[in-house]
Amino acid sequence: MKLTGNVLEIRDLVKDFPSVRAVNNVSFDIKRNTVHCLVGENGAGKSTLIKILTGAYARSSGKILLNGEEYSPHSPKNAKEKGISTLFQELNVVDQLTVAENLTLGMEDTTFGFLRKTDKINKMVSVMNSLEPSISPRQLVSTLSVAKKQIVEIAKAVATESDIIIMDEPTAAISESEIARLFKIVKGLREKNVTVIYISHRLDEIFELGDYVTVMRDGKHIDTKPVSEIQDRSELIRMMIGKTVFEVYTPKKDRSQETILQVRNLSNHKLNGISFEVKKGEIVGFYGLVGAGKTELARAIYGADDYEGEILFKGEKLHPSPHKVIEAGIALVPEERRSQGLFTILTIRGNVPVMNMGKISRNGFINSSQERKVTLEYIEKLRIATSSTEKEVIKLSGGNQQKVVFSKCLFADADLLMLDEPTRGIDVGAKSEIYGIIRRLSEEGKSILIFSSELPEIMNICDSIYLLYDGNLKAALQNGYDIDSEKIIHIVTGGE
Amino acid sequence: MSVETKQARKITVGGRMSNESFLTLFMIGVLVVLFGIACAIVPNFYLPQNMLNLITNNWYIIILGIGVTFLLITGNFDMSVGGVIALTGVLSVYFCQGANVSRNVLANGLGLPYGLALGLALLCAMGIGAINAFFIARLKVPSIIVTLGTMMLARGIAQVITRGAQRNTSLPDVFGVVGNIAIQGTSIKFSVVIMVLLVVAAFIFERMTVPGRRTYLIGANAEAARLSGITVGKHITFLYLTSALLAGITGILLASEFKAGVSSRAMGYEFDALVVALLGGVSIAGGFGSVLGMFVGAVILSVVTTSATGLLLSPDWQFTLKGIVTFIAILAQRFALDRRKG
Amino acid sequence: MNVKGAKEESIQTQLERSRAVRANIKKLYIYFVLALIVIIFSVAKLGQVEMFGRGHFLSPDSIINLLRTAVPILTLSGAFTLLMISGYIDLSVGSAMSLSAVVFALMILNGFPFLPALVITLILGIAMGALNGLLVMKLRITPVIATLVTLSLFKGIALLIVPDGLSAIKGSAEKVMPPWINDYARKNVLLGMPWAFFVALAVIAILVIVQRKTILGKYAAAMGGNRTAAELSGINVVKMGWLLYIIVGFFAVLAGVARASYMSLGDPLSGDGMELDNIIAVLLGGTAFSGGEGSVAKTIIGALIIMCVTTGLMTVIPAYWQTVAKGSVLLFAVVLNHLLIREKVKA
């Protein structure tokens, strides 16, 4: 029996963090048995909203009604019990078990502990079969491709009668034919009394799959419309970026002609034949959305991941190891500052000199006063908000933590800095400080590579902009007064 | 920035002590308390000779503890050290035993010069360390398994060379010197002096050198360390070689002291080394701990075991006491740190 | 897109086929290793003894002896495997075994009948396992360190129970150890094998079934494979882990009782090294140390391999070669396990 009405109603939802209001009085409805898309740029508030729905975050205020009843999950497990399942990019299947075992995990029928084959299992297997018959229930999940693992998760959610399945960028890691199959399944879910909340940056998917779309921007709800009422991509893009006034970019006066970095035909599991050049003192931006390959590119150049192809830095071949790359004069501010960029249990002083210990030591012995001096220097230079060099980094705010990472990399005396999402999760004040630092470095002759999914950031300071989509370099632009932000979004969302 | 007035911000450099120092002080406090209790209830505890013995009794555990502490900081175990002591001791004897002295196989060795014998024995010790490093740093096998295996390997080789017993004949006179000579007029042995020197060197290494600092970085966040340019595999290899070398030195000193290479020497020493490191606040969770703390831990262990003997408890109490003391220490340290973090 | 799609499909099926081949190797290698070991020891002394004759590796006496000595590890390694599958380890099993041997022998020496003594000892085993579970699952102390602590504790208690001057709980002129203590682990019941052996077989059968067909086995694999997914599915990981530690304690005690019965005494050092033997068996059996997969049946084969090596070596080389042999076997098992797991990851 097909039910109608709203499966989810969100009213005046607010989520505050210490330095930012991530979700700002958002209200909209999701109709039952539809595919409801959620779009918006990074920082728009989508992921925070989803985290509230899945019980990972608690809301600050506002109401959510699921099937007409108050919905306040206190944990992801709780959310699942209440009827909202989520497909994350980190798959929640147990590789070492079979498909059938994964489907029934946590819901087995037993007699004295013995697993019984009951109708419940058959029902689940038939749900699985109706979605994708080529998956055998007796297969080990480890033998399945990522796309098929996703389908297993979907089957489990459907079979456990979830009202809503949230899919977060599900197509980021699967091939085109697999995408087609996924779409067929998603569309079919509407007949099974399941509503899908579909998050994706690939606007074509919205048009192909979606019944409704909600656009968010800067934490606010912009609009919710039936997809059929949207004329074309441009309208959607305009809703996404609105009247954002990009700080006017000032082209540089003298541009060096000296090439410092040459990347030729860089390829690996994610990247396809990327080639480009960087001049001395240039600020180059790599813009793309989730899954475009930005981090993979940064890590490949840095030597943190394997690749095929050639990279020349200052005319010499770059060896694929972070140690050698740093020695050659390149430093990376990694994407995840807490797990990759910082030693969180150590102090600021413990973090800053790490990439260039030679400068604060002699014959292997650390000069403590030099160490303190350097730490102090960077605290002042970058205006890190702390009262002591001995503050544990974990106690700093996101912005200040990022400044510590910057200090680390600056201290490495690199000639080329790679910044992966340098201002993610950082408040506006710290952001502009960081932009100032970047501009200053460029003036000093350093080259900067910025990998970011925030368009204003890219437009603000980059001299050249490269657009990435699905591991490919799609376009190269010179920044200037007449840059067309709509065209940019068009390309990074899959357009040509 | 040039236009704004720069606020005169007072930034303290240094100041609040690190968590490590806090914990070391905490354990020193514990030591003082235990010491007080011991003085009260154990007859004759407070004798100068006893005091000295507290530190000198355990000299071999402390040397081992140095290597174990650094590895523990990076999140790795080294349970092979006891076996390496036995192996090095036996080899040091075997290599310099007279070559064709007797019909008894155990009385014949390779007849090498003393210095060369020692050098080779140490090299073999480091060979065990290299095997550890290969499996752990290269193949990424869990260190507890590997080092238990190399422990058996090392001790096993010692057993083969001594046919399960020991070698102690036809040794050059100089053999017994290092293990037995003492500072003139005192009972402080050369081994103890070595121990003190090594502890001081280790402390300097940990606090003031670049590789020492790297050890903590790797323990705190191995991935960030790698992305910061540290060659983690090479460093771990270095630590395992050092640990083996320290065990080797200890083995030579002990063999010299008893003028014998005994295949059953140092049974359980690896466990004691781990215990004193844990008592000293070293955390397996990584990135945390100090050689100084380990030293305090060793003294604590000494107080406990000496008190037990003084109270006429049989030596069998050791195991139970060690287990209980370690457990309490782990909990107490966790409690103290949680309170500190507030 | 059609052509590309077709190409993707065939690469997929090729991959899946090669995965199947590698899976088969994974299934069968261990039988080859066992066969190899048996063959080696069978031919080793062919110059001196007759095939299947006295003193030969495969003589009836020798086989019976081997199996009787193997009873403790056969009893314990199944449960040990289950714990490792869930991603946890227990290094205290050897000491738990020793302690239970001591306690059991003490009771028998003091007039307890077999069954009550057994039951009390088993309760002790449950307590020991519960202690390990408390330290690891509740207090969240690293399993290696927590079980090394309990190793020390159990060993200490076992040593303390044995009166000073004696090396074990055994009979003496004043107090005789009832001779029937031997019955359980030595007396011929069927085909020359004692009760303890059949108990061990039953235990193996039970644990194989538990691992493959019950919810305990499945949840252990889920926990070890992907703890987050397990928790999200509603599995109480803490409770499961605790239960597994208790089960290991229970069977460690059963092994200890068998050992005490076999030796007619309670030796506080009798279990030393048992944890290493178990680890070797588990490694040979292809269980991953990170958990998620493993096989009780394969571990048992691994246990047989280590027993063959241990007893076989004794006939070929002097006793003082045992330790280095075991160490080498462990490292060999590590390499083997590493290669197997690497194959898995590649596939």
For C244-291, the pLDDT digits (tens) are 999 999 999 999 999 999 988 889 998 888 999 999 999 998 888 888
| Proportion of chain B above pLDDT 70, given as a percent | 94
User: Is the Cβ–Cβ distance between A375 and A350 less than 8 Å?
Assistant: no
CA angle C112, C117, C118 (to 5 degrees): 150
- Residue B288: its pLDDT value, please? 84
Mean pLDDT, residues A360-378 taken together = 90
> Which residue in A93, A87, A458 sits closest to A292, CA to CA?
A458
Contacts of B139 in chain C (CB under 8 A): 334-335, 338
Distance separating alpha carbons of residues B20 and B284, to the nearest angstrom: 14
Distance separating alpha carbons of residues A247 and A268, to the nearest angstrom: 36
- Tell me which chain A residue has its CA closest to the CA of residue B13: A389
Q: Which has the higher per-residue pLDDT, C205 or A126? A: C205
Residue A397, class by beta-carbon neighbours within 10 Å (0-12 exposed, 13-18 middle, 19+ buried)?
middle
In a mutational test of the C interface, the residue from B73, B78, B318, B327 whose CB has the highest number of chain C CBs within 10 Å is: B327
| pLDDT exceeds 70 at position A2 | no
pLDDT interval class at A285 (50, 70, 90): very high
A31 forms beta bridges with A6
- Closest in C150, C279, C323 to B159, CB measured: C323
User: Is the Cβ–Cβ distance between A103 and A111 less than 8 Å?
Assistant: no
Name which of A113-127, B78-92, B276-290 the model is least confident about. Answer: A113-127
Instruction: Calculate how close chain A gets to B228, using CA atoms only, in Å.
Output: 5
- Residue A196: its pLDDT value, please? 93
Q: What is the pLDDT of residues C103-155, one digit of tens each?
A: 999 998 888 899 999 999 999 999 999 999 999 999 999 999 999 999 999 99
Q: Which has the higher per-residue pLDDT, C47 or B7? A: C47
CB atoms B320 and C153 under 8 Å: yes
Q: What letter does residue A250 receive in the DSSP assignment?
A: -
Q: What is the pLDDT of residues A51-93, one digit of tens each?
A: 899 888 888 889 999 988 889 888 888 888 888 988 887 788 9
CB atoms B221 and A302 under 8 Å: no
- Residue A244: its pLDDT value, please? 58
Instruction: Tell whether B144 is within 8 A of chain C (Cβ).
Output: yes
User: Is the Cβ–Cβ distance between A426 and A406 less than 8 Å?
Assistant: no
Mean pLDDT score across all residues of chain C: 87
Mean pLDDT, residues B143-154 taken together = 95
Residue B27 makes CB contacts below 8 A (sequence gap 6+) with B279, B280, B281, B293, B296, B297, B300, B329, B333
- Residue B4: its pLDDT value, please? 31
Q: What is the pLDDT of residues C12-35, one digit of tens each?
A: 777 777 777 777 777 788 888 888
Q: Touching A: which chains, 3+ CB pairs < 8 A?
A: B, C
Residue A107 has which token pair? 């819901």
Query: Tokens 């019955």 correspond to what residue?
Result: C183
Beta-sheet pairing, A259-267 with A274-279: antiparallel
Distance separating alpha carbons of residues A199 and C128, to the nearest angstrom: 50
- Residue B342: its pLDDT value, please? 55
Q: Which has the higher per-residue pLDDT, B86 or B4? A: B86
Q: Which has the higher per-residue pLDDT, A276 or B312? A: A276
User: Is the Cβ–Cβ distance between A348 and A390 less than 8 Å?
Assistant: yes
In a mutational test of the A interface, the residue from B228, B232, B283 whose CB has the highest number of chain A CBs within 10 Å is: B228
Instruction: Calculate how close chain B gets to C230, using CA atoms only, in Å.
Output: 24
CB atoms C145 and B284 under 8 Å: yes
Distance separating alpha carbons of residues A165 and A150, to the nearest angstrom: 12
Instruction: Calculate how close chain C gets to A142, using CA atoms only, in Å.
Output: 8
- DSSP conformation letters of B211-230: HHHHHHHHHH-HHHHHHTT-
Contacts of C19 in chain A (CB under 8 A): 143
CB atoms A101 and C218 under 8 Å: yes
**Hey, is B302 helix, strand or coil?**
helix
Distance separating alpha carbons of residues C196 and C257, to the nearest angstrom: 9
CA angle A371, A372, A376 (to 5 degrees): 120
Instruction: Tell whether C215 is within 8 A of chain A (Cβ).
Output: yes
Distance separating alpha carbons of residues B217 and B236, to the nearest angstrom: 12
- Residue C1: its pLDDT value, please? 45
Residue B181 has which token pair? 């000579």
- Residue A254: its pLDDT value, please? 67
Distance separating alpha carbons of residues B71 and B238, to the nearest angstrom: 10
Cα distances from C171 to residues A333, C182, C259, C270, in angstroms, run 72, 13, 16, 17
Distance separating alpha carbons of residues C94 and C256, to the nearest angstrom: 9
Beta-sheet pairing, A316-317 with A472-478: unpaired
pLDDT interval class at B36 (50, 70, 90): confident
ipTM of the complex: 0.89
- Residue B5: its pLDDT value, please? 33
Helix (H) or strand (E) holding A196: strand A195-199
Q: Is the dihedral of CA B51, B52, B53, B58 positive or negative?
A: positive
Q: Which has the higher per-residue pLDDT, C192 or A246? A: C192
Q: What is the pLDDT of residues A160-193, one digit of tens each?
A: 888 899 998 888 777 778 888 889 888 888 888 8
Distance separating alpha carbons of residues A168 and B13, to the nearest angstrom: 45
- Tell me which chain A residue has its CA closest to the CA of residue C234: A106
- Residue B14: its pLDDT value, please? 58
- Residue C277: its pLDDT value, please? 94
Instruction: Calculate how close chain C gets to A420, using CA atoms only, in Å.
Output: 28
Q: What is the pLDDT of residues B156-169, one digit of tens each?
A: 999 999 988 888 88
CB atoms C215 and A110 under 8 Å: yes
Distance separating alpha carbons of residues A282 and A294, to the nearest angstrom: 18
Distance separating alpha carbons of residues A293 and B85, to the nearest angstrom: 52
Q: What is the pLDDT of residues A220-278, one digit of tens each?
A: 898 899 998 888 877 888 888 776 555 666 766 667 788 899 999 999 888 999 999 99
CB count within 10 Å of CB A127 equals: 18
What is the amino acid identity at position B181? Answer: I
CB atoms B159 and C321 under 8 Å: yes
- Closest in A343, A357, A387 to B224, CB measured: A343
Contacts of B271 in chain C (CB under 8 A): 148, 152
Query: Tokens 């087609």 correspond to what residue?
Result: A180
| pLDDT exceeds 80 at position A135 | yes
CB count within 10 Å of CB A189 equals: 20
Cα distances from A432 to residues A455, A457, B203, in angstroms, run 15, 10, 43
Q: Can you state the percent helix, strand and coil of chain C, rounding each to 5?
A: 75, 0, 25
Beta-sheet pairing, A472-478 with A464-469: antiparallel
Helix (H) or strand (E) holding A234: helix A233-241
- Residue A269: its pLDDT value, please? 87
Q: Which has the higher per-residue pLDDT, B234 or C164? A: B234
Q: Which has the higher per-residue pLDDT, A129 or B205? A: B205
Mean pLDDT, residues B300-312 taken together = 86
Q: Edge-to-edge strand order for the sheet containing A472-478?
A: A330-333, A416-420, A447-452, A283-287, A464-469, A472-478
- DSSP conformation letters of C202-245: HHHHHHHHHHHHBHHHHHHHHHHH-HHHHHHTT--HHHHHHHHH
| pLDDT exceeds 50 at position B1 | no
Q: Which has the higher per-residue pLDDT, A257 or C77? A: C77
Q: What is the pLDDT of residues A419-476, one digit of tens each?
A: 999 988 777 777 888 888 898 888 888 999 999 888 878 888 888 899 998 889 988 8
CB count within 10 Å of CB B233 equals: 14
Distance separating alpha carbons of residues A173 and A269, to the nearest angstrom: 11
Contacts of C145 in chain B (CB under 8 A): 274, 278, 284, 330
In a mutational test of the C interface, the residue from B72, B84, B141, B267 whose CB has the highest number of chain C CBs within 10 Å is: B141
Q: What letter does residue A306 receive in the DSSP assignment?
A: -
Mean pLDDT, residues C188-217 taken together = 91
Instruction: Tell whether C225 is within 8 A of chain A (Cβ).
Output: yes
User: Is the Cβ–Cβ distance between C185 and C194 less than 8 Å?
Assistant: yes
> Can you give the pTM of this predicted structure?
0.89
Terminal Cα-to-Cα distance of chain A (whole angstroms) = 42
Length of chain A: 496
Instruction: Tell whether A402 is within 8 A of chain B (Cβ).
Output: no
CB count within 10 Å of CB C310 equals: 18
Name which of A186-190, A260-264, A372-376, B197-201 the model is least confident about. Answer: A186-190
CB atoms A92 and C216 under 8 Å: no
Mean pLDDT, residues B174-178 taken together = 83
Sequence-ordered alpha helix ranges (H) in C86-214: 93-109, 114-133, 143-161, 183-186, 195-213
Q: What is the pLDDT of residues C245-257, one digit of tens each?
A: 999 999 999 999 9
Cα distances from A22 to residues A49, A214, B310, C157, in angstroms, run 8, 16, 66, 58
Q: Which has the higher per-residue pLDDT, B77 or C185? A: B77
